[in-house]
Amino acid sequence: MQVSGLRDADHDTPTTTATFSGTERGTVIGSDSDTAARDMQFEMREALRAISGLERLERCGISVLAGGVTPVLRNGRAGYAGVVTCGSVHVCPCCSTSIRRVRQDELDQVGQFWECQSCGLVMMTLTMRHYERDPLATLEEMQRHAWKVGFGMNAGRTWREAKKSFGIRGFVRAWEVTHGPNGWHCHYHVLLFLARPLASGRVLELQHLAFEVWSAALVKVGARMPVEVSEKDGKPVGVKIDAPDRGESGQMARYLMKGQDGKTRWGVAAELTRQDVKQGQGGHRTPFEIARDAIAGDARSVELWREFVATATGVRSLYWSNGLRKLLREMGFELDERNDNEVAADEAAEGKPLACIPAATWYRHIARHKGRALALLKAAEKGGTTAVRALIESWGLIWGADVTEPEQLPEDGTLPTADEILRRAERMDLAARAEVWRRGFALAEGAVIKARAEHFAANPDAPEYAARAEAAKQAAADVDAQLAIEDQEHAELAAARAEFVRRRKLVAVAHTDETAAAFDRLRNPDRPVRTRVSLRKRPKPATVPAPRITPPPPEAASPTCRTCSGKLDTALIPYGRHALC
């Protein structure tokens, strides 16, 4: 988007137009101070691998992605394409500088663009009380939960109404931590994007309201109650909100800091992003200052650095609120959509290739020798390909064999990057090797088949061929037997299924009759019920009545049985015989 009326930062003459785009990558780099800072970052990363215990840091700048490594030169600054970059914005000195520089440039442009739309921008700093005994992990967890309760997804009615009242359209939040006499000091820098600029009175009102929300959230998550205003100087402590003057939204809270980049102009974007070059104040140390002391041999600093690595790994250094990036795109601002890993890899790999170093040469002659990777970059920045070749040959390597010439790419950037070229070369090499193996296997297989055919033609009745024929016949017979068994099982299964279907039909008919009879009884309760045979219960067998003995005539009475002459009981005397006679 084109915006008129801006002034150049280095000249007093107004420019006609200014283009805002968050996708512009990198600036011209070539100062001695920046080169010295880069050298220190390489040395620090090398030393931190041994004490950090972070696997991704141990591989950063050493492990090869595919095929080999390509030294590249961009804007006077050398780097490596084809090596692993960890993308750790908190722990790695090299990746942190690349990522934070890109994020700072993007936020500077976003701030200027937002102001040119006649909108407002303020920076809110949120701190919390702490003591030396408090672990960093506990403080970070309480800080994160307090943000969710106060300003995040679980924010209450007070902050939701404040967002409407002050016209807050979104925010960008940065996490920062230092260590001082009272232990770890975690705080947030939050850049609030407002629909309109705020007057000084409204800024104080927003600051007081934000303190109420922040303090209530801290107490709710179990943290200590913060102090709103210092008793010594009357300055805000728990929550501080800074509002820029007209034309300073891109460089809010500006002050001079001496860091790895030397004297650096500090603005809102730098305050949110450049933790790699900030220095602590009042006895406080930044994480990279702790790392320098740990490298120097301070045991306490080693413990603090390892605690910081364990806690900071996984914490987002920069967080955009939901919908803010979409709003900026709708307003015409093009944002950089790369993640931290992609930014670190692109910053290290973009540029003109100077040489191609195979993986074997890189691991054996450069990566294992301390200082050689940095020396190669210095040579590339000093003399390009000529200096790189001279340094390579001074190590006893052969130019053209151990290290080759780079592939020439057009300057318009239409062809793939150096990393993609290495990947393509690796794939072509593997394809060529696979083709050689395929041809060899085909020739060997053809020779074996030809030899077998000749042997069979000369000895058709050999025992081995007879055995093979017998084995083939037996295999065919086994297959036929198995098919017969399967056919029989299929027939039995079909018969069982037919019988199951028949029985289900009988049960269905019986159920239908019983249902009809039940409805008939409901409609005609006075009709006598006719018993029917139930298919659900087995019918009980009918009992056969005992034979009845008809009483004999009176003349048949006798005290003894007329048949067996046995004595009769009194009850049988009228019958004259036993029941079984």
CA dist 368 and 157 (Å) reads 59
Identify the pLDDT of residue 128. 92
* pLDDT for position 208: 92
| 3-state secondary structure at position 425 | helix
- The CB density around residue 44, as the number of other CB atoms within 10 Å, is 18
Query: Where does the pLDDT of residue 34 fall: very low under 50, low under 70, confident under 90, or very high at 90 and above?
Result: low
Cα separation of 190 and 425, whole Å? 47
CB 189 within 8 A of CB 125: yes
Over residues 391-410, mean pLDDT:
80
Cα(573)–Cα(424) distance, rounded to whole angstroms? 125
Contacts (Cβ under 8 Å, ≥6 apart) of 514: 532, 534
Mean pLDDT over the full length of the chain: 79
- The pLDDT of residue 251 is 55
Q: What is the residue type of 188?
A: Y
pLDDT value for 544: 58
Q: Report phi then psi at 400, rounded to 5.
A: 105, -20
Higher pLDDT: 101 or 426? It is: 101
Q: Any bridge partners for residue 19, and if so which?
A: 2
Q: What is the pLDDT of residues 432-449, one digit of tens each?
A: 777 888 888 888 888 888
Collect contacts of 228-234 with beta carbons under 8 A, ≥24 apart: none
Distance (Å, whole) CA 309 – CA 56 = 12
pLDDT score of 254 more than 80: no
Q: Pick left, alpha or beta for residue 314 (phi over 0 → left; psi -120 to 50 → alpha; otherwise beta).
A: left
pLDDT value of position 259:
29
What integer pLDDT is reported at residue 281 of this predicted model?
A: 59
Give per-residue pLDDT as tens, 311-355: 998 888 888 898 888 898 888 888 888 888 788 777 766 778 888
Measure the CA–CA gap between 474 and 464, rounded to whole angstroms: 15
Q: What is the pLDDT of residue 267?
A: 46
Q: Residues of the chain with pLDDT > 70: what percent?
A: 79
Which single residue is written with the structure tokens 């009326």?
5
Residue 545's pLDDT is 64
> pTM for this one?
0.61
Whether 91 contacts 230, CB under 8 Å: no
Query: What DSSP string runs through 542-572?
Result: PPPPPPPPPPPPGGG--SB-TTT-PBPPGGG
Whether the pLDDT of residue 454 is over 60: the answer is: yes
Q: Which of 151-155, 180-184, 533-537 has the highest mean pLDDT?
A: 180-184
Lowest mean pLDDT among 265-269, 420-424, 473-477, 523-527: 265-269
User: Is residue 379's pLDDT more than 60?
Assistant: yes
State which amino acid sits at residue 69: V
Q: What is the pLDDT of residue 339?
A: 82
Q: How far apart are CA 394 and CA 372, in angstroms?
A: 12
At 463-512, the pLDDT tens digits run 888 888 888 899 999 999 999 999 999 999 999 999 999 999 999 988 88
Task: Dump pLDDT digits (tens) for 122-154.
Answer: 889 999 999 999 999 999 999 999 999 999 888
Q: What is the H or E stretch that residue 162 is in?
A: helix 157-166
Write the pLDDT tens digit of every residue in 536-580: 556 566 665 655 556 556 556 778 887 788 887 777 777 777 777
Q: Is the pLDDT of residue 12 over 90?
A: no
